[in-house]
Amino acid sequence: MFDQHRLSVLTDRYAGVIGHRPTACVVTFGCQMNAHDSEKIKGVLAEAGFRLSDQEESDFVIYNTCTVRENANTRVYGRLGQLKNYKKDHPHMIIAVCGCMMQEQRAAAELKNRLPFVDLVFGTFNLDRFPVLLEQTLINRLGNIHETLVEIYEKEYAGEADRLPSKRSFTFKAGVNIMYGCNNFCSYCIVPYVRGRERSRTKEEIMQEIKMLHQDGVKEIMLLGQNVNSYGKTLENPVSFAQLLECVAAESGMERIRFMTSHPKDLSDDLIRVMAENQTVCKHLHLPVQSGSNRILKAMNRRYTRENYLALVDKLRKAIPDLSLTTDIMIGFPGEEERDVADTIDLVKQAGFDNAFTFIYSKRQGTPAATMPGQIDGETAAARFNQLLEAVHETAYKRCERFVGMTLPVMIEDQNRHQEGWMTGRTEHNLLVHFPTDSCRIGSTVPVKIVESKGFYLIGRRV
Ligand code: 5AD
Ligand code: SF4
């Protein structure tokens, strides 16, 4: 744990220098894992005495970076360039960069060289050190020392950030890390390099955190891991993900339980049973397929075939008829030919995805795919991407319509931003529903009759 008192004293001294209570803005790129890490960063900053803000014109700005695709990196450098100008007029400002991009080899050193006005750089393996690093950064600033403090660990280690305070983005829903890292080494993916080897938290630790969230009024949790289906394998007393999920459903008191992400090769019959038998486990599964071509799946090192995947979908739909299925698909992988794209589009139609996140392959240094022959040019990839998108939209639109006429429990998330007197909520299938109402508490679940499908979201009426 960190010394909150010492940190607050330093923040107060910094406030004295700048003449007001310092504001802090945490900017998150990437996935749910990063969003979860950012809640910890915010928790530390809030306890240190910073006022959290969404404005990048803040006294402390931190970018929690993603590196899964090249464009995420480009965006960070672009945004940092803009901050440089702002910092010229506000020399008291502190800029920090952390997250996956910094965990890449040489990335931190490169950033330090190119952007020496950045004050603090750290990686994913030492997030738990953030309080100490913040302390040192404040000491540097108060002592007028303007040099980049860089701390990157080469290897993941046991000291995780679980015990850091957290400033959750929502009162009624929360993410809970059940494991870290990934051992799959899909040939295109940088995650195993920047998030390290798979390590699971114990069931007891996880249950304790979930019970505390429940006491705090949280109604929905998302169990988070890069590959939740291989949860618990490395524990001293191995526990399967299905067992963990069953325990969470039985003991947590949560109204809704979600989880992300599942790898098709590890999805067990037991998990399907737990999903089917437990009402509080949402009938939504995110099951990345990546490609519908066996040739490409093999080159991607995904370790299943399109036939395996489609058989799994069949099994899931039989056991959980109302299931919403979403996926990730990548286009433009090295060596891809038109027939592979056709296979992928065919799989999209057969599987009937409710939605799909579609990506153009991005070359990541150090991954096996980066040096594979047959890299696809941008123009070809873009054309194939549009073809894929069309197929995804078509199936998603069709799937969304099945809810029209049904009355579904909807958990209220927010006031509708575009229409006064309307609220926005989510079904267990993870679909947004907009509906007019005069009284609705955020976080409560109400029955809503679905009157119209808009393809990717729904319009409803209170009943
Ligand atoms: N290029 C493009 N997309 C990628 N993803 C992972 N690595 C890459 C890459 N190099 C996608 C996969 C994964 C999702 C989180 O990001 O589809 O499931
Ligand atoms: Fe990357 Fe594959 Fe691990 Fe997912 S399962 S994080 S795509 S290596």
DSSP string, 282-338: -SEEE---B-S-HHHHHHTT----HHHHHHHHHHHHHH-TT-EEEEEEEE--TT--H
Angstrom distance (rounded) from CA 101 to CA 107: 7
- Are 403 and 427 within 8 A, CB to CB? yes
What does each of the 463 residues of the chain score in pLDDT, given as a tens digit? 678 899 999 999 999 999 999 999 999 999 999 999 999 999 999 999 999 999 999 999 999 999 999 998 899 999 999 999 999 999 999 999 999 999 998 899 999 999 999 999 999 999 999 999 999 999 999 998 889 999 999 888 766 788 899 999 999 999 999 999 999 999 999 999 999 999 999 999 999 999 999 999 999 999 999 999 999 998 999 999 999 999 999 999 999 999 999 999 999 999 999 999 999 999 999 999 999 999 999 999 999 999 999 999 999 999 999 999 999 999 999 999 999 999 999 999 999 999 999 999 999 999 999 999 999 999 999 999 999 999 999 999 999 999 999 999 999 999 988 888 999 999 999 999 999 988 778 999 999 999 999 999 999 999 9
Domain boundary among 381, 401, 421: 401
Same domain flag for 28 and 136: yes
Same domain flag for 26 and 86: yes
Residue nearest to atom 1 of ligand 2 (CA): 189
Same domain flag for 48 and 18: yes
Same domain flag for 253 and 359: no
Query: Could you tell me the CATH number of the domain that includes residue 317?
Result: 3.30.750.200
Angstrom distance (rounded) from CA 160 to CA 131: 13
Indicate which atom in ligand 2 lies nearest the CA of residue 290: 7
Query: Could you tell me the CATH number of the domain that includes residue 432?
Result: 2.40.50.140
What confidence score (pLDDT) does residue 156 get?
Answer: 83
Query: Could you tell me the CATH number of the domain that includes residue 29?
Result: 3.40.50.12160
Task: Report yes or no on 427 lying in a domain.
Answer: yes
**Ligand 1 site, residue 361, Cβ cutoff 6 A:** yes
Same domain flag for 8 and 144: yes
Indicate which atom in ligand 1 lies nearest the CA of residue 290: 17
Task: Report yes or no on 292 lying in a domain.
Answer: no
Angstrom distance (rounded) from CA 324 to CA 282: 9
Q: Phi/psi at 311 (nearest 5 deg)?
A: -65, -40
- First and final CA of the chain: distance in angstroms? 48
Task: Report yes or no on 116 lying in a domain.
Answer: yes
Same domain flag for 46 and 83: yes
Domain boundary among 151, 178, 208: 151
Tokens 């005495």, residue located: 49
Helix (H) or strand (E) holding 410: strand 407-415
Closest CA to 150 of 166, 177, 129, 173: 129
- Are 334 and 370 within 8 A, CB to CB? no
- Distance between Cα 263 and ligand 2 center (Å): 8
Same domain flag for 125 and 186: no
Task: Report yes or no on 36 lying in a domain.
Answer: yes
Task: Report yes or no on 110 lying in a domain.
Answer: yes
Domain boundary among 122, 151, 180: 151
Task: Report yes or no on 287 lying in a domain.
Answer: no
Angstrom distance (rounded) from CA 450 to CA 463: 10
Q: Is residue 383 classed as helix, strand or coil in its secondary structure?
A: helix
Same domain flag for 230 and 333: no
Indicate which atom in ligand 1 lies nearest the CA of residue 31: 15
Same domain flag for 128 and 220: no
Ligand nearest to the CA of 69: 1
Query: Could you tell me the CATH number of the domain that includes residue 199?
Result: 3.30.750.210
Q: Which domain holds residue 427?
A: 407-462
Q: Phi/psi at 281 (nearest 5 deg)?
A: -80, 120
Task: Report yes or no on 299 lying in a domain.
Answer: no
Confidence (pTM): 0.94
- Distance between Cα 189 and ligand 2 center (Å): 6
Same domain flag for 77 and 102: yes
Task: Report yes or no on 182 lying in a domain.
Answer: yes
Angstrom distance (rounded) from CA 221 to CA 281: 10
Same domain flag for 204 and 142: no
Same domain flag for 118 and 63: yes
**Ligand 1 site, residue 364, Cβ cutoff 6 A:** yes
Q: How many distinct structural domains can be found in the chain?
A: 4
